[in-house]
A and B are shown apart, each in its own frame.
Chain A
Amino acid sequence: MEDEAFTDINGKAISLDCQDHSSFCREFTVSSPKVSIGKVMGYTCSVWLIAYSVFFFTQNTAVLSSAIVVTLVGMMLHIHFVKVDHESLLVIGSLGIQVSYSYASGRETTTFIEMSKIKDIVINEAIYMHQIIYYLCVLLKDPSNSDGVSSVVPLFQSSKPRLNCLVKVYKSCQEILSKC
């Protein structure tokens, strides 16, 4: 288990955890930073200040209660659908690859890709807003064309680690993929 100081493309600290279950089965987990308490407090305070000012002019108490409800529901939706806690990549030689996203509320979504459909795992470049970033992706085989690529599945999309982290994961994955 290793834990070095990696950062994502915006400079926030993330952590990478590599587990060697056996010589052909490895799991990589990238954890994003948790929701900061300062940001949460800032958002709720601003929402409630606005609601209070509206109440001051309209004298309607429904504004206050609706602001509370909106804040609560918004926070619940955010941690259930938006905030990713950690993403993991499990590579089992000759069986397949499993990618799973785990959200802050505990919800997990997993995708399994069979080994026969995988062409390769590569590091690719992409234009993202005003930057060019590196990302790790899985290339899937095209059934009609043996040399072609039918689609690309990007990995670690919400944590977006930088190149040093990606290279580490890439080297480990290639060791397994080359053997099976």
Chain B
Amino acid sequence: FFYLLRPSELIMVLKIFFPQCCNRADSGLLVGRWITGHDSAVVLAVIHYPFIPSQVKQYVQQSRVELSVLGSWSLPKEGQEGMESFLRDLSTIFPQERWLQISRQMGKMGFTCQVLDRDQSKTRPPGTCGEEEEKVIFIHYEQRKVMLSELHRIENGIPAPKADPPSELSQVRDTVANSQPLFFMDKYDDGPLKSTHWQSEGREASIIVELLKQASVPLCLLISWMLSIWTWICNLRLYPVRFLSSKLSTCVQLSYRTEHMRALCSPKAAAGHTQFMRKANILVSFLVDVALGVLLMSWLYRDDHITALANTLVPAADHVAKELEELLQWLMGAPAGLKMNRALDQVLGRFFLYHIHLWISYIHLMSPFIEGILWYGGLSACLGLTFALSLLSDMVALLTFHIYCFYVYGARLYCLKIYGLSSLWRLFRGKKWNVLRQRVDSCSYDLDQVTLINVAWNQSENKRHKNTRKQLFLQVECVCSPTAFHWDAAVHRPGSCCPPQRSTTSSSLW
């Protein structure tokens, strides 16, 4: 099916947007705007009788809003019949291309609308049959909500949307939203004109909002000044403190918060709606954070929870140390039936055991102070729950620092081993690492060099062992220890988990 467009069947539809607050307004003149490009009019206010036409014309021309007289509105009260002729005469006083006459009877729901065209100057009420029927659609809009709304244009990354002609409804919305200056006169003002619009009952305002607006600017200036002093202090730090503060998550969190507060308290207003939403987002997340932190504090500081926590901390550390020692004993023996290099086992195992012993004695030394530390650390929760959590994460990292050390030692040894082996493997195949070009080149060796290489290869594998199987398991030993402690590396920064780079190892080797 397809329908041919026959011109005689086209309906001319006139759309009138009428504010709901004017449904009960007294009779008067309609002022508003005709929307260009579409057959529609937006009524913004009703100006009541009695008025002096010259004053109305002056008002319409001088207002900062694009305004024109649209027509007349009549809601006759008792004793006011016979306004029809008066209303029709008004159209001669205010010459317009089209004149709308909208009227309503008290107690009845329906509106009647007549459109007068200046050219033909004959009425065309809706429903008459003719060559071109003109239909009228009456749209009631809630003036306050439309004025306070915001239109978000969908941008798909195409620059075209700016060039598109704005649609009818967005033009209506823009008209209403831009007509704010019109609504500063309410019916209590003694002006030459009395009008009805959504603010005519009195301008809306909230004293709390006004007070907050007045107080916000000096408050923002004060906070941004304090923040600038704080950042200046932070940048004063010496080198080792700077390195430490980049590793500790508490300091990282502090710097994030400072950034957020700086963004919030900047004295200039947000550039666009996205900036505004971002600022509001930051503020709300900060408030939620602080609320949750205060909740945590209220739980923590009652019923002696801190003492209970402190009392479980040292036994927990002891337990972890005991488990670690058992693990090391297991590795030093025959883990999972693998036979390992005994000498290397003993060296590494005793080294790690000594570490654990040192660390545990250190924890025991600190145990009387732990409760105090926890008490004052818990106070930091008032800055936000994330702050308390970052403090907790730092404490856990510090308490398990020895395990992290084990991982680093194991990883370094492994990396050294792999580097040496790969270099010997390349020599074995007749290739060489070109340091200048950072790539592998082929190289021809003499017979003496090749023999020396083979001997060195066997030596590095052999390590004074007769059993050839054990040469392979030497590699396993160097793999086991880093992986056993790898889980702890996840607590610390992931970036530092990776084995050190090739260049640093070469410098340490030669």
Contacts and interface: CB of A to CB of B under 8 A. Distances in A.
B256 to A, nearest CB: 38
B5 A95 contact: no
Nearest to A22: B135
Given A144-B160, A174-B1, A178-B5, A24 B11 contact: yes
B82 to A, nearest CB: 31
Interface stretch (B164-172, B450-458, B472-480): B164-172
A45 B164 CA distance: 60
A116 interface: yes
A94 B160 contact: no
B119 interface: no
B15 interface: yes
Contacts of A175: 3
Interface string A98-137: 0000000000000000101100000000000000000000
A144 B158 contact: yes
Contact of B164 (A24, A143, A174, A180): A143
Contact of A94 (B3, B15, B161): B15
A179 B12 CA distance: 9
Interface string B367-388: 0000000000000000000000
A143 B160 contact: yes
Contacts of B15: 94-95
B11 A23 contact: yes
Interface string B211-239: 00000000000000000000000000000
A180 B139 CA distance: 17
Nearest to A167: B1
Nearest to B163: A143
Given A94-B13, A143-B158, A174-B3, A117 B137 contact: no
B9 A179 contact: yes
Contacts, number: 43
Interface in B279-325: none
Main SS of chain A's interface residues? mixed
A93 interface: yes
Contact of A179 (B10, B160, B161, B168): B10
Interface residues of A, number: 20
Given A179-B10, A180-B11, A114 B1 contact: no
Interface string B164-205: 100111000000000000000000000000000000000000
B167 A116 contact: yes
B135 A24 contact: yes
Interface residues of B, number: 18
Contacts of B161: 143
A171 B139 CA distance: 26
Contacts of A95: 13, 15, 137, 139
Contact of B13 (A116, A143, A180): A180
A174 B3 CA distance: 8
B341 to A, nearest CB: 57
Interface string A145-180: 000000000000000000000000001001100111
Interface string B9-38: 111010100000000000000000000000
A153 to B, nearest CB: 15
A171 B169 CA distance: 27
Interface of A: 22-25, 92-96, 114, 116-117, 143-144, 171, 174-175, 178-180
27 contacts: A23-B135, A24-B11, A24-B13, A24-B135, A93-B11, A93-B13, A94-B11, A94-B13, A94-B15, A94-B137, A95-B137, A95-B139, A96-B169, A114-B167, A114-B168, A114-B169, A116-B167, A143-B160, A143-B164, A171-B1, A174-B1, A174-B3, A178-B5, A179-B10, A179-B11, A180-B10, A180-B11
